């Protein structure tokens, strides 16, 4: 009884072919991963090179040497940025899974880092939360 305006007939919508990784959410997550990874990298460099810049809190349960925190952030930042680049250019499922796992670890590392640089840690936790959300809501390759 009802006619289809677009002329496809059976009532199914015709999808346009997509190029690239195919989802705005995936691009959003990949770009945030690259920038978040670079910010963690710079945070790690600052902690390694100038660990006297940070205020050391007393009686902190997860207290490490600031140089150790610097190396943790530097390594995580490099890996996150590289996975973000791989996700941006390939959109591979392994990069999505690695992105969720790595940004989850980055959230944990920044939570433990919070007494040393609270505002910076909160910003990076929020960025990583957005990355995880975007990676989880982006359509899978079979849905494109």
- Write out the two tokens for 17: 């072919």
What confidence score (pLDDT) does residue 23 get? 75
H or E element, residue 81: helix 66-90
Cβ partners under 8 Å of residue 140, min gap 6: 93
What confidence score (pLDDT) does residue 124 get? 92
Per-residue pLDDT of the chain (144 residues; tens, 9 = 90+): 555 555 555 554 444 444 445 578 899 999 999 999 999 999 899 888 876 666 666 666 666 778 888 899 999 999 999 999 999 999 889 999 999 999 999 999 999 888 888 898 999 999 999 999 999 998 876 665
> What is the pTM assigned to this prediction?
0.77
């Amino acid at each position: 009884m009802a006619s289809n305006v677009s002329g496809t007939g059976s009532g199914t919508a015709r999808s346009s072919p997509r190029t690239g990784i195919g989802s705005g959410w995936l691009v959003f997550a990949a770009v945030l991963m690259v920038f978040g990874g670079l910010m963690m990298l710079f945070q790690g460099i600052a902690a390694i090179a100038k660990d006297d810049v940070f205020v050391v809190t007393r009686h902190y349960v997860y207290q490490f040497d600031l140089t150790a925190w610097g190396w943790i952030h530097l390594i995580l930042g490099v890996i996150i940025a590289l996975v973000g680049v791989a996700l941006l250019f390939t959109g591979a499922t392994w990069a999505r899974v690695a992105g969720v796992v790595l940004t989850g670890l980055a959230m944990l590392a920044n939570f433990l880092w919070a007494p040393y640089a609270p505002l910076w840690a909160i910003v990076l936790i929020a960025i990583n939360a957005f990355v995880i959300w975007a990676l989880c809501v982006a359509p899978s390759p079979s849905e494109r």
